Structures are given as C-alpha cells and as structure tokens.
C-alpha cells in the first residue's frame, strides 16, 4: 500500500517532459498522509492541457452523496480499479502522475512498529500512477481528489508489506496520461511491481 510519502522537491523533469512550468507555490512536505492535499500532474477535462494541481488525497467518486468516503479511498488496487464503481470512470478518463521523493512503510519489530523510507537507488524522483476525480456537492462545493494505485510487492518490499505503489518509469508517463487510450489492456503492463534491485530502504524517523 502507500499511506505516507514525502515530496520535498517537485520533479522538474516532469515539467520538462510535458513542456509545462512547475509552479513555485506547490508546497514541499516530508510526511504527507491521506486527506491532505497532494501535488499531481493532471490533464484538463476541458482543454486537455497538462498542468500541476493540488488534489485531496482520498478519491471522492463523482456520484458520491458526500465526501466522507474519500479517506477510505486513498489507494486503489491496480488489478481491479478499472472495474470498480469508485474508480472505473477515473481509470478510463482521469489518470494522473503523482511525484514523490519516496514513501514510508512500517515493520513490526518486537512490540513496536518501525518506519522505513523507500526511495529509488538512482535517487531520481518517484512517480506514482494515480487517478483523479472531481466531485460537486449539493451546495455547489467542488472537490478534486486522487488515489494512488497499488500492485503486489516485489521481493524488496515484501518484508515490509505485501503491496506497493505503482511506480511508473519515465518512458511510461506519456502513455499513462494519454486519454485517447481506451483499450485498458494497453495500460495493464504499466501497472506491474517495480523490478527488484531498484529501490533503497532506510530506517526513518517520522
């Protein structure tokens, strides 16, 4: 799963890849948890332009009666998200990229759980595969929110958890953001666990 992550440097490489500026007001944070705002690269439903946005972490489906469901939907299983009512519309039309420095997992050691911080061995930014949605309340309140897709853990992560976030390599970013792709079978190969040996795990203090 992915329940905490850090994003202290918005990766300029994302902006360069899509030819867009990186805003100065996207806040850097070291311990982001569900219900907080997260930075994401989205494609506008109207113009189709790509831009950075702040989204609530915990997806609220457009059909939800209220936004209280959001905190429960901060992760979505990549194997089934395309068919689940909460995620299938977003999977087809509103895929996004969520940048991070790394993410946290906990392991029970004795009577305590200890946090570990997971980064790429290359020290490159991590980019999660995400989905986003816009919800409008009865009083006209508008909320944009997101979820991070997960997949089965690779051998590196398995001692900590049986799931891990989907981490997209740079050559997959454009394909994941391409709304013209409607054959979801073309997207499933992007949603595999990161190959072994590409991550670094260090004990953390948070």
Indicate which residues carry an active-site annotation.
Answer: 2, 105
Which residues touch 103 (CB under 8 Å, ≥6 apart)?
2, 4, 5, 6, 117, 118, 126, 165
Question: What pLDDT is stored for residue 182 in this prediction?
Answer: 81
CB 99 within 8 A of CB 11: yes
Longest dimension (CA), the chain: 54
| pLDDT by position in tens, the chain (length 206) | 789 999 987 777 778 878 888 877 777 889 999 999 999 999 987 778 899 999 999 999 999 999 999 999 999 999 999 999 999 999 999 999 999 999 999 988 878 889 999 999 998 899 999 999 999 998 889 999 999 999 999 999 999 999 999 999 999 999 999 999 988 888 999 999 999 999 999 998 77
Nearest CA among 163, 175, 119 for reference residue 3: 163
The alpha carbon of residue 188 and the mean position of all alpha carbons in its chain are separated, in whole angstroms, by: 16
Q: From residue 199, how far is each of 56, 162, 195, 196, 205 by CA, in Å?
A: 27, 16, 9, 7, 19
Question: What pLDDT is stored for residue 25 in this prediction?
Answer: 72
Q: What's the pTM?
A: 0.94
The domains found in the chain, sorted by start residue, are: 5-203 (3.90.1680.10)
């Amino acid at each position: 799963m992915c329940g905490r992550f850090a994003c202290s440097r918005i990766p300029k490489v994302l902006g360069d890849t899509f030819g867009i500026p990186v805003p100065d007001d996207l806040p850097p944070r070291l311990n982001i948890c569900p219900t907080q705002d997260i930075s994401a690269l989205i494609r506008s439903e109207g113009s189709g332009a790509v831009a950075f946005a702040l989204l609530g972490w915990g997806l609220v489906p457009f059909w939800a009666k209220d936004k209280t469901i959001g905190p429960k939907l901060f992760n979505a299983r990549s194997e089934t998200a395309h068919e689940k009512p909460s995620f299938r519309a977003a999977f087809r039309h509103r895929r996004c990229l969520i940048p991070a420095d790394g993410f946290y997992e906990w392991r029970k050691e004795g009577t305590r759980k200890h946090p570990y911080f997971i980064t790429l061995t290359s020290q490159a930014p991590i980019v999660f595969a995400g989905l986003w949605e816009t919800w409008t309340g009865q009083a006209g309140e508008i909320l944009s929110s997101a979820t991070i897709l997960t997949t089965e853990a690779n051998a590196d992560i398995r001692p900590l958890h049986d799931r891990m976030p989907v981490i997209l390599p740079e050559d997959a970013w454009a394909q994941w953001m391409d709304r013209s792709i409607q054959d979801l079978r073309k997207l499933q190969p992007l949603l595999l666990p990161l190959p072994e040996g590409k991550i670094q795990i260090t004990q953390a203090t948070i």
